[in-house]
Chains A and B, each alone.
Chain A
């Protein structure tokens, strides 16, 4: 990631704001402590605060469905009632900075009609993989398919920076679900023990859900008070229910951006749950989420070709 890319990114953002193509740019910035933080820019002169380096892990697509960020008439689906009730006048168009993995979650939002793509400018950044604080490549980057290193043409409006064509020391993904198969090979009781050990640590802080770009429900089932479907009190049984229900809600949708696992303060390997479901969807319906904005998830479709092994 050369400084040239940062300069080009800053210029691109400033241009978009000057020409009034958009009135908000969502990108990466740096906090005074030196941490990478999400950055929201409305003025061209602020564009010089934009950053891009190997610690830019966040999936900023998450903010596209957050009305408090984008304003009532932003890029989200039309909601005339909310638009009329809101006192905010920050109606406008938005530009968002994405990596290849983030772009996939945007594709799912598009296919689910959650963003008005014509009001959105997508700035793609070729990505050599992002790292944790210790400089270690994130696990999700190790299993990232090489075709996702560079944001896909046709899905981005602008691409900034030179394409990444090397593996950058990354193992090239072979499309396997090896870590999932290892868990599948365990006895049922061992699997339960393994997961209960993780789930018992869950604080029910909901960071996994709130950081997820695809958990955009206006009212989450876990927040409903009447009836209260799942108790909010952390406990192995209720935590198990929470994680399994969330996994089902992401079936055929999760693109493995890895944000849930990164956000989890107690180290629950959430990607393994979602990858297990993705594996089942791939094997049963030959479908991968996040590749085609026109494609619908097999879980919202019926086809006479669908496997029906579960019906005896």
Chain B
């Protein structure tokens, strides 16, 4: 672990701008978005984490997750011309530096890896992962929607990171390498090696951050999930749902897509199970016409099917789905509700 001043890190990022793409949080009209930094503008747009008394009471999180830089919203695959097929998507060759990704998001990358780098490998995704160095940022002040600790993560988690940063007073960071890529990056960052005092300070920060997360998702047993599949419960809890795609599109682990044609162009774009066109078949048949069946699909995919197939839940507890839901549908409340019903002897 090394103590690195913000200006030293800034200098490194500035240097990287010459030959790499930098993905980092940028502010626009009061909201943060992960965005490619404009090389012309340099670090002007980059939003640095704040600590100390003047810092906001909660860590400001980006609206979008980092998944769109590995699994783009719109990905042009190829053109189907009468004369033949012309490929449009080439694997990424440029080096990329992803800055200030939160532990929940970097952990989500390891979940997406299971989908896109499993038996069938997605060339684009693979190249994006290989060429991106992930510099993570620990959370000091999680907000009330966060629940990462009950899904195996934590505000000081390092899964999926190459290098982790913990912001400390005096515009400095405690920098810890997580992977070989991270070691290499750290070698180019000058700073004092951290001593026992810093280790202790880090421990306190970590304990405080973990204690600040009060939400717990209690995952029901697979058997209970199966029993409640046909329950009226789903109608009740999804009644207010407006069936938009915010929860899926902002989710760092949702990865469903559609293949569509735009003229000669064939492309892959995000799709969401909450949409009533998601399961529509060629002849017009649709087996998830009602919104409660679609909302249920989202929950079962995350907490039942994905677990069966990939041995992990496809949720990292970032809380984006609830934070940005236009009618504040609460995934934690709904999942915990199944267990509550079962414990109370409720009829499935």
Contacts and interface: CB of A to CB of B under 8 A. Distances in A.
Interface of A: 31-38, 40, 58, 62-63, 68-69, 201, 203-207, 209-211, 223, 225, 228, 231-235, 238, 259, 262-263, 265-267
A37 B240 contact: yes
A63 B238 CA distance: 13
Interface in B28-44: 28-31, 33
B245 A205 contact: yes
Contacts of B240: 37-38, 40, 63
Contacts of B330: 31-33, 35
Contacts of B290: 68
A9 to B, nearest CB: 18
A58 B328 CA distance: 11
Interface residues of B, number: 46
Q: Which 7 A-B pairs have the closest CB atoms?
A: A233-B269, A207-B244, A205-B245, A263-B326, A210-B242, A38-B240, A35-B328
Nearest to A209: B244
Interface of B: 28-31, 33, 63-64, 73-74, 144-145, 235, 239-240, 242-246, 248-250, 258, 260-262, 267, 269-272, 275-277, 280, 290-292, 322, 324, 326-330, 333
Contact of A228 (B260, B271, B275): B260
A205 B63 contact: no
A258 to B, nearest CB: 12
Contacts of A63: 240
Contact of B246 (A36, A205, A231, A235): A205
Nearest to A134: B30
Nearest to A62: B242
Contacts of B63: 265-267
A231 B73 CA distance: 13
Contact of A234 (B30, B73, B246): B73
Contacts of A31: 328, 330, 333
B327 A231 contact: no
B116 to A, nearest CB: 19
Contact of B74 (A205, A235, A265): A235
A233 B262 contact: yes
Contact of B245 (A68, A204, A231): A204
B327 A206 contact: no
B144 A203 contact: no
A207 B73 CA distance: 16
Contact of B324 (A40, A210, A265): A265
Nearest to B290: A68
24 contacts: A32-B330, A33-B322, A33-B330, A34-B144, A205-B244, A205-B246, A206-B275, A207-B242, A207-B326, A209-B244, A231-B269, A232-B260, A232-B277, A233-B73, A233-B74, A233-B260, A233-B262, A233-B267, A238-B262, A259-B326, A263-B326, A265-B63, A265-B246, A266-B64
Which one of A33, A62, A203 has the greatest number of beta carbons of chain B within 10 Å? A203
A40 B30 CA distance: 33
Nearest to B291: A68
A270 B158 CA distance: 39
A203 B242 contact: no
B239 A68 contact: yes
Contacts of A233: 73-74, 258, 260, 262, 267, 269
Contacts of B64: 203, 266
Nearest to B289: A68
Contacts of A32: 330, 333
Contacts of A35: 328, 330
A225 B277 contact: yes
Contact of B327 (A37, A203, A204, A205): A37
A278 B299 CA distance: 40
A266 B239 contact: no
B244 A225 contact: no
A55 to B, nearest CB: 10
A307 B58 CA distance: 54
Given A33-B333, A203-B64, A232-B271, 16 more contacts: A34-B144, A36-B328, A37-B240, A38-B239, A68-B292, A205-B249, A210-B242, A223-B275, A225-B277, A228-B261, A233-B260, A233-B267, A238-B262, A262-B326, A263-B326, A266-B33
A204 B74 CA distance: 11
Nearest to B324: A265
Nearest to A204: B245
A206 B244 contact: yes
A38 B144 contact: no
Contact of B280 (A225, A262, A265): A225
Contacts of B33: 201, 266
A267 B276 contact: no
B29 A203 contact: no
